[in-house]
Amino acid sequence: MREAIRLSRDKMRCGAGGPFGAVIVRKGKIIARGWNRVTSANDPTAHAEITAIRAACRKLKTFQLDGCELYTSCEPCPMCLSAIYWARLKMVFYANTRRDAARIQFDDNFIYGEVSRPVSRRKIPMNQLLRPEALKVFAEWKIKTDKIAY
């Protein structure tokens, strides 16, 4: 956890992005580090947890991080929480809470609320188009014999 906190402080101070750091550990050893690069990479998805997950997957040459733990300087936002589940991390440790983050203008309560709303009631309009055409691709995937399931 101290390494995640160190990354959050050092990368914030050098202008890489917001005050967030993360490390991924496997069998007691750090295998990947990540920090917030939203502003330095012009990438709204470059949160510390996401950049750490990307680095760990590249290093291990896999898209799942079974058996790995994430240490992050702050409770994960909704996007990072989803990525944690997709990556199949076995455990998460965090330092600051989402309420601590809200106090410094990193407030994700709006997004938590939007996720739970019906699609028709979200702030960003979402309109369904061409479902029958898209369903044909899903049908093809279902019978594909050489797919890599995840």
Is a pLDDT exceeding 90 seen at residue 150?
no
Whole-structure pTM value: 0.93
**Beta-sheet pairing, 68-74 with 91-96:** parallel
**Mind listing the pLDDT tens digit for each residue in 40-64?**
999 999 999 999 999 999 999 999 9
CB 78: neighbour CB atoms within 10 A? 16
Q: Please confirm, yes or no, whether 75 is among the known catalytic residues.
A: no
Write down the catalytic residue from 49, 69, 75, 114. Answer: 49
- Segment (H or E) for 110: helix 109-116
Percent of the chain with pLDDT over 70: 100
What's the pLDDT band for 19 if we cut at 50, 70, 90? very high
Residues counted in the chain? 150
The pLDDT value recorded for residue 14 is 97
The pLDDT value recorded for residue 133 is 98
The pLDDT value recorded for residue 149 is 85
Distance, first Cα to last Cα, the chain: 29
| Amino acid occupying residue 126 | M
